[in-house]
Amino acid sequence: MKSVSMLRVLACLLAAVMLLSSCGSIKPIAADEEDLRVVMRADEYDICYDELRYYTCNLKAQMCDYYGSDIWADAETAAPYLEELYDGVIAMCRYNAAVLSLAAEFGISYTEELIQEKVQEDVDSLVEELGSKRAYRKALDEYYMTDRLFRYITAVTHCETELYHVLISLQLIDNSDEAAEAFLASDDLIRTLHIYISNDAGENIDANRERAESLLEELNNGADFITLIGRHSEDFYMTTTDGYYFTRGEMNLAYEEAAFSLKENAYSDVVTTSSGFYIILRLPTEEEYIEKNFETLKNQYLSATFYNMIEERRDEINVTVADDTIELWQIN
């Protein structure tokens, strides 16, 4: 539920298993000529076909889970979804360029030796975790990934981490307790509870929407919100009535916009997201909770501030598409 948005989830699909130390370096796997074909540019950064395919195929699969497995069957059924697909892929490519662009301003480059050494360590660790170079290739194929692209995205991630520490050290992100306390006491931190109906694979989305609407009707007729959470909500991470404390940039955008538009103790209409349906209750923040969880909330604030900076830079990135770039929906 908590964002790392889809942009970062897809970019880190394989990174989660990078946990072991390496015992011998795996040389880069030569890329096919087609994979290296430049199909777009995000400002000065080339976007190769393998990056386009990776984001496109993963986003198409996610959209199938939400809209139905047959939406890409042919041009006619795909037509209503192309704009969403295109915008999502472009956003992910722009995000990588935004990280590199902002990092470059502080002398951080994904090609520098230290970054590349870390990338090599990560590749070696992943191969060791998977058991063989063949298994590594297979894992890449399963995610529509190439070795070149995996190394590139891993390098971007390391640049992102280094950039965060540089911004903190230069106090361009104020990490003092005083700054955090002021933020946590402001209206930029809110608290919510919600009833969540998940769109699991194979479920009827219309039926889930109707179920959420019926729960909203029960609320309007006087039902207790907490009781309905206990009986119907499918968010198994929300185990207490403390709920979620968050700021802008941490949650799904539709969820976030609905939550911030609410007055305290008011609940929303049914909110539609790519993963399911929410009815959101905004509650007052509690000083005791904030004091008890100060360090966690402070880190949450610092992270959100950092990623909002990247998102702002992403919005400034200009993407140009090559004339001969294949239509996104045709990529399988």
Say yes or no: 261 and 169 in one domain.
no
Q: Is residue 84 part of a domain?
A: yes
* Structural domain boundaries, residue 195: 190-284
Adjacent-strand bridge partners of 182:
none
Distance CA 162, CA 108 (A): 8
Q: Note the pLDDT of residue 330.
A: 72
Within a domain: 18? yes
For 293-322, b/e burial (b = at least 16 CB within 10 A) is eeeebbebbbbbbbbebbbebbeebebeee
Residues 161, 61 share a domain: yes
**Does residue 234 lie within any of the structural domains?**
yes
Residue 179 within a domain: no
Residues 94 and 47 in one domain: yes
Residues 12 and 156 in one domain: yes
Residue 236 and residue 137 in one domain: no
Q: To which residue do tokens 């990135």 refer? A: 317
Q: Are residues 168 and 232 in the same domain?
A: no
Instruction: Answer whether residue 272 is part of any domain.
Output: yes
Question: Is 297 domain-assigned?
Answer: no
**pLDDT tens-digit profile, the chain (332 residues):** 433 344 444 444 444 433 333 345 678 888 888 899 999 999 999 999 999 999 999 999 888 877 778 899 888 999 999 999 999 999 999 999 999 999 999 999 999 999 999 999 999 999 999 999 999 999 999 999 999 999 999 999 999 999 999 999 999 999 999 999 999 999 999 999 999 999 887 788 889 999 999 999 999 999 999 999 999 999 988 777 789 999 988 888 899 999 999 999 999 999 998 789 999 999 999 999 999 999 999 999 999 899 999 999 999 999 998 877 766 667 76
User: Quick check: is 181 in a domain?
Assistant: no
Residues 114 and 199 in one domain: no
Q: Are residues 228 and 148 in the same domain?
A: no
| Residue 218 half-sphere exposure toward CB, CA atoms < 13 A | 17
Same domain, 103 and 196: no
16 and 149 together in one domain: yes
The pLDDT value recorded for residue 274 is 78
Q: Are residues 14 and 58 in the same domain?
A: yes
Strand (E) or helix (H) holding 127:
helix 113-130
Cα 68 from Cα 202, distance rounded (Å) = 8
154 and 257, same domain (yes or no) = no
Sheet holding 319-321, edge to edge: 45-48, 38-42, 319-321
**How many domains, in total, are found in the chain?**
2
CATH number at residue 277: 3.10.50.40
In a domain, 96, yes or no: yes
